[in-house]
Structure 1
Amino acid sequence: MSINQRVQEIIDKLFSGNKRAFSVAVGIAATVTENIVGTRGTNPSFEVTCKIASAIENINTEWLLTGKGSMFKTGILQGNDILNTVSENESSYGLISDYSARPFIESASLVKDNFSRAISSNNCKTIIIPFIDGCDFLLRNHGDSMVNLSDLKKSINDQDIVACRFWENLSHIRWGEVYAMATKQGYIIKKVVPSDVKGKITCISFNGKKGYTPYDLSLSEISDWAIVVGVASVNVW
């Protein structure tokens, strides 16, 4: 297996095949990733290899460079090795599971153009949110407009962490789903339905009882899209 194939395996296993998410997490241009795993098959430079090893802490560097050994560092539990219950007298007790850190955008003010640019900034940290698959990055929700009193499982409360996946196929919007959208004023998180006005969408807040009424938003005002795939609630005592 070549180093290019090993990079592709990282993308497939840790980023669900999403090259853009990998590029953002590692801190390299999408074109660089495409050159490595695409038809050109360019070997990654020393700088790029170092970025991969540094950004993905549980990757076995020797495996990345030479293909020797396992993909992950010794002592890291892999997906099939994670037990439902781990007792203290088992050798795997206390070891870190294979949940990779994802970029975390804590403030809407960090997003002025698109999510990728905000993620690559020095102000973006990374955190681990387990049990949510297909996630490229995380956002902090602000406000109570998406509190869903009729379906609490689909509710997004103030300060909740919202797991998002990049949505690049704008020719196919999944109407009725919740999206995070980047605008010049920051990001918004809304349920999206078709608008009666051409060139616009209708944004719906769940918490209509608090006076959050639907409104139309021009497609030209949205610079980036991501679909919401999960929410982690945060309760500060």
Structure 2
Amino acid sequence: MQQHPINQRISFLLQSFKLSARAFSEAIGEKPTITQNYVGTRNSMPGADYIEKVLKHFESINPAWFLTGAGEPFIGDAQASPVTISSKKNKGGVQANNIGQNTINNISLEDCKRSLESSQQEIEQLKAQLASKDALLGAKDDLIAAKEEMLSLLRAGHNRPN
């Protein structure tokens, strides 16, 4: 296979995986327009984050080929695994052939563990924020009570009924 610009290699992957630019973007966790910017008339150059997402998600892609165009597109005897989107607008999962790997719907066990750990940390932060908010609300109530008491004393001191 000839060496092509990376945009043409992305187009080749779209055809190999039988995915639209939108579905490909959603599969790697990018905004739907990102891949279209790379393969469409814009021909923007993908950044390192995008390339990393592609290589992490589609493990059968030969990284040397993807980056330089040298070698074969897929590692070893691997070919593009058929990928289908089960429904539109991220309401369904991405299905792929992942034989002998710890993945379900293209999500690895390690990714799930990292996501769970991140979510648990976020929950702890939110609990701390909630406790802080409750403390502030308690202080606010105390200040309002003190203000009302001060107003009552001032009114009593001046013999004013209101």
Note closer, same or farther for the CA distance 1:28–1:65 as it changes in structure 2 (3 Å cut): same
Query: Which residue of 35, 38, 41 maps to 2:37?
Result: 35
2:81 equivalent in structure 1: 99
**How far off is 1:128 after superposition?**
2.3
Q: Which amino acid aligns with 1:8?
A: S
RMSD: 2.8
CA–CA distance in structure 2, aligned partners of residues 125 and 35 of structure 1: 22
Q: 2: distance between equivalents of 1:102 and 1:53?
A: 18
**1:47 match:** 49
- Which of the residues 4, 9, 13 maps onto 1:6? 9
Q: How do residues 97-176 of structure 1 correspond to structure 2 at under 5 angstroms?
A: 98-102=80-84, 115-119=88-92, 124=93, 126-128=95-97
Name the aligned partner's letter for residue 59 of structure 1: I
Tell me, yes or no, if the aligned pair for 1:15 and 1:22 is still in contact at 8 Å.
no
Q: 1:143-200 deviations in whole A, cap 9, x for unaligned?
A: xxxxxxxxxxxxxxxxxxxxxxxxxxxxxxxxxxxxxxxxxxxxxxxxxxxxxxxxxx
Distance change (3 Å), C-alpha of 1:74 and 1:125:
same
CA 1:103–1:66 in structure 2 vs 1: closer, same or farther (change >3 Å)? same
Distance 2:66 2:95 in 1: 22
Number of aligned pairs?
97
Distance 1:125 1:13 in 2: 16
Q: TM-score, normalised by structure 2?
A: 0.51
Going from structure 1 to structure 2, the CA distance change for 1:75 and 1:42 (only over 3 Å counts) comes to same
Q: Deviations over 1:33-67 (max 9, x none)?
A: 11101111111110000111111111101110111
Tell me the distance in 2 between the aligned counterparts of 1:7 and 1:31. Answer: 14
Distance 1:25 1:39 in 2: 22
Give secondary structure in 1 for the equivalent of 2:89: helix
Map 1:206-217 to 2 at 5 A: none
Larger proportion of strand: 1
Gaps in structure 1 of 5+ consecutive residues:
79-97, 105-113, 130-136, 138-237
Percent identity (aligned): 30
Indicate the SS of the match to 2:76. Answer: coil
Answer with 1 or 2: which has the greater Rg. Answer: 2
